Chain A
Amino acid sequence: MDFEPRYTPEQEEFRQEVKAWMKDNMPPGIVHPADPIDLTEEQYQLRREFGRRLGAKGWLWPTASTEYGGGGLDVDHSVVLEEEAEAAGLTIPPFYDSGGRLGGASIVVWGSDEQKKFFLPPIFTGEVRTWQLLSEPEAGSDLANVKSTAVKDGDDYIINGQKVFVGSSLGCDYMWTLTVTDTEAKRHENLGWFMIPSTLPGITVQPMDLLISGGESGAGSGVKNTVFFDNVRVPAFNLIGGHNNGWKVATTHLELEHGTGGKISRNTVVDRLFDYCRSTNRNGQPITKDPDAREKLVEVHIEQEIVRLLQLRNYWMRHSGVTTTYEGPQASYMRKTLGLKMSRHILDILGPAALTFDPKLGAADGHMEAHSRAGIIAIHPGGTTDIQKVIMSRRIGIGREVREKAGALS
Chain B
Amino acid sequence: MDLALSPEQEMLKTAVRRFVQQEYPKETLLQIASPTEPTPEGPWNRLTQTGWLGILIPTEYGGEGGSFTDAGVLFEELGRGPVPGPHISSAVVAALTLLEGGTEDQKREWLPRMATGEVRMVAAITEAEYGWQSTDVHLTAKQNGNGYRLNGTKAYVYDGEAATHLLCAARSDESNDVGLVIVPADAAGISARGLPGFAWNLSEIAIENVSAEATQVLGGEFAGGWEALERAQQKAIPVLCAYQVGGSQAIYEISVDYSRTRHQFGTPIGRFQRVQDQIINLLNNLDAARWTAYEALWKLDIGREAADSVHLAKAVGSEGYYEACNFAHEVHAGVGSMTEYGLTLHTTASRTLYHYLGDPKFHRRRLADALGL
B 343-373 binary contact with A (CB < 8 Å = 1; else 0): 0000000000000000000001001100101
Provide the residues of chain B in CB contact with A393, threshold 8 Å: 270, 273, 276, 279-280
Provide the residues of chain A in CB contact with B275, threshold 8 Å: 398-399
Is B108 an interface position by the 8 A CB rule? no
A301 and B2 form a contact (CB under 8 A): no
Provide the residues of chain A in CB contact with B284, threshold 8 Å: 330, 333-334
Provide the residues of chain B in CB contact with A312, threshold 8 Å: 1, 3, 291
B 270-291 binary contact with A (CB < 8 Å = 1; else 0): 1111011101100110011001
Q: Which residue of B lies closest to A322 (CB)?
A: B4
Given A1-B69, A393-B279, A400-B270, the answer on whether A298 and B368 have CB atoms closer than 8 Å is yes
Given A288-B373, A398-B270, the answer on whether A1 and B280 have CB atoms closer than 8 Å is no
Q: Which of B145-153, B212-220, B292-300 contacts A (4 or more CB under 8 A)?
A: B292-300
Q: Which residue of A lies closest to B267 (CB)?
A: A399
Give the Cβ gap from A307 to chain B, nearest Cβ, in Å: 9
A residues engaging B (CB < 8 A)? 1-6, 277-278, 288-289, 294-295, 297-299, 301-302, 305-306, 309-310, 312-313, 315-317, 320, 322, 326, 330, 333-334, 389-390, 392-393, 396-401
13 interchain pairs (CB within 8 A)? A4-B1, A277-B373, A298-B371, A302-B315, A306-B291, A309-B288, A310-B287, A330-B284, A393-B279, A396-B256, A396-B280, A398-B280, A399-B272
5 smallest beta-carbon distances between A and B, as pairs:
A399-B270, A309-B291, A393-B276, A398-B270, A399-B271
Q: Which residue of A lies closest to B272 (CB)?
A: A399
Q: Which residue of B lies closest to A301 (CB)?
A: B371
A295 and B276 form a contact (CB under 8 A): no
A330 and B287 form a contact (CB under 8 A): yes
Docked complex Cα distance between A333 and B292 (Å): 18
Provide the residues of chain A in CB contact with B294, threshold 8 Å: 1, 3
Provide the residues of chain A in CB contact with B297, threshold 8 Å: 1
Which of these, B69, B280, B298, B316, contacts A392 with CB under 8 Å? Answer: B280
Interfacial residues of chain B within 61-117, with CB under 8 A of chain A in the complex: 69
Beyond the given pairs A298-B371, A398-B279, A400-B268, 14 more chain A to chain B contacts, judged by CB atoms under 8 angstroms and listed by A's residue number, are A3-B3, A6-B1, A301-B312, A306-B288, A312-B291, A316-B2, A330-B283, A389-B277, A393-B279, A397-B260, A398-B276, A399-B267, A399-B271, A399-B272
Give the Cβ gap from B71 to chain A, nearest Cβ, in Å: 13
B277 and A2 form a contact (CB under 8 A): no
Docked complex Cα distance between A1 and B298 (Å): 7
Given A294-B373, A398-B256, A400-B270, the answer on whether A302 and B280 have CB atoms closer than 8 Å is no
- What is the number of contacts between chain A and chain B, taking CB atoms within 8 Å? 125
Which of these, A2, A277, A298, contacts B364 with CB under 8 Å? Answer: A298
Docked complex Cα distance between A289 and B4 (Å): 40
Is B5 an interface position by the 8 A CB rule? yes
Provide the residues of chain A in CB contact with B1, threshold 8 Å: 2-6, 312, 315-316
Q: Which residue of B lies closest to A388 (CB)?
A: B280
Docked complex Cα distance between A6 and B3 (Å): 13
A309 and B295 form a contact (CB under 8 A): yes
Provide the residues of chain A in CB contact with B5, threshold 8 Å: 1
B283 and A326 form a contact (CB under 8 A): yes
Give the Cβ gap from A388 to chain B, nearest Cβ, in Å: 9
B292 and A1 form a contact (CB under 8 A): no
Given A1-B3, A298-B371, the answer on whether A313 and B291 have CB atoms closer than 8 Å is yes
Interfacial residues of chain B within 201-237, with CB under 8 A of chain A in the complex: none
B272 and A295 form a contact (CB under 8 A): no
Given A306-B288, A310-B291, A393-B279, the answer on whether A2 and B2 have CB atoms closer than 8 Å is yes
A302 and B367 form a contact (CB under 8 A): yes
Docked complex Cα distance between A278 and B373 (Å): 7
Provide the residues of chain B in CB contact with A305, threshold 8 Å: 292, 312
Is B56 an interface position by the 8 A CB rule? no
Give the Cβ gap from A271 to chain B, nearest Cβ, in Å: 12
Provide the residues of chain A in CB contact with B276, threshold 8 Å: 389-390, 393, 398-399
Interfacial residues of chain B within 314-329, with CB under 8 A of chain A in the complex: 315-316
Docked complex Cα distance between A393 and B283 (Å): 11
Docked complex Cα distance between A313 and B367 (Å): 23
Docked complex Cα distance between A280 and B64 (Å): 51
Docked complex Cα distance between A39 and B66 (Å): 55
A390 and B273 form a contact (CB under 8 A): yes
Which of these, B3, B256, B260, contacts A313 with CB under 8 Å? Answer: B3
Docked complex Cα distance between A322 and B1 (Å): 13
Provide the residues of chain A in CB contact with B181, threshold 8 Å: none
Provide the residues of chain B in CB contact with A313, threshold 8 Å: 3, 287, 291
Provide the residues of chain B in CB contact with A5, threshold 8 Å: 1
B292 and A306 form a contact (CB under 8 A): yes
Q: Which residue of B lies closest to A295 (CB)?
A: B364
Is B241 an interface position by the 8 A CB rule? no
Provide the residues of chain B in CB contact with A306, threshold 8 Å: 288, 291-292, 316
B260 and A302 form a contact (CB under 8 A): no
Docked complex Cα distance between A392 and B287 (Å): 13
Docked complex Cα distance between A233 and B297 (Å): 60
Q: Which residue of B lies closest to A399 (CB)?
A: B270
Docked complex Cα distance between A306 and B320 (Å): 12
Q: Determine which residue in A299, A334, A398 has the highest number of CB atoms from chain B within 10 A of its CB, and name it.
A: A398
Provide the residues of chain B in CB contact with A322, threshold 8 Å: 4
Give the Cβ gap from A202 to chain B, nearest Cβ, in Å: 41
Docked complex Cα distance between A396 and B288 (Å): 17
Is B269 an interface position by the 8 A CB rule? yes
Is B259 an interface position by the 8 A CB rule? yes
Provide the residues of chain A in CB contact with B283, threshold 8 Å: 326, 330, 392, 396
Give the Cβ gap from A351 to chain B, nearest Cβ, in Å: 18
Docked complex Cα distance between A333 and B2 (Å): 24
Which of these, A297, A326, A334, contacts B368 with CB under 8 Å? Answer: A297
Docked complex Cα distance between A301 and B316 (Å): 12
Given A1-B3, A2-B1, A305-B292, the answer on whether A298 and B280 have CB atoms closer than 8 Å is no
B260 and A320 form a contact (CB under 8 A): no
Docked complex Cα distance between A392 and B259 (Å): 14
Docked complex Cα distance between A320 and B3 (Å): 10
Q: Which residue of B lies closest to A6 (CB)?
A: B1
B292 and A3 form a contact (CB under 8 A): no
Docked complex Cα distance between A315 and B283 (Å): 19
Provide the residues of chain B in CB contact with A326, threshold 8 Å: 283
Q: Which residue of B lies closest to A393 (CB)?
A: B276
B2 and A1 form a contact (CB under 8 A): yes
Which of these, A298, A315, A330, A399, contacts B259 with CB under 8 Å? Answer: A399
Given A390-B273, A393-B279, the answer on whether A301 and B3 have CB atoms closer than 8 Å is no
Which of these, B268, B295, B364, B373, contacts A3 with CB under 8 Å? Answer: B295
A3 and B256 form a contact (CB under 8 A): no
Provide the residues of chain B in CB contact with A317, threshold 8 Å: 3
Provide the residues of chain B in CB contact with A277, threshold 8 Å: 373
Docked complex Cα distance between A285 and B1 (Å): 41
Docked complex Cα distance between A315 and B299 (Å): 19
Docked complex Cα distance between A294 and B2 (Å): 34
Give the Cβ gap from B235 to chain A, nearest Cβ, in Å: 16
Docked complex Cα distance between A399 and B268 (Å): 5
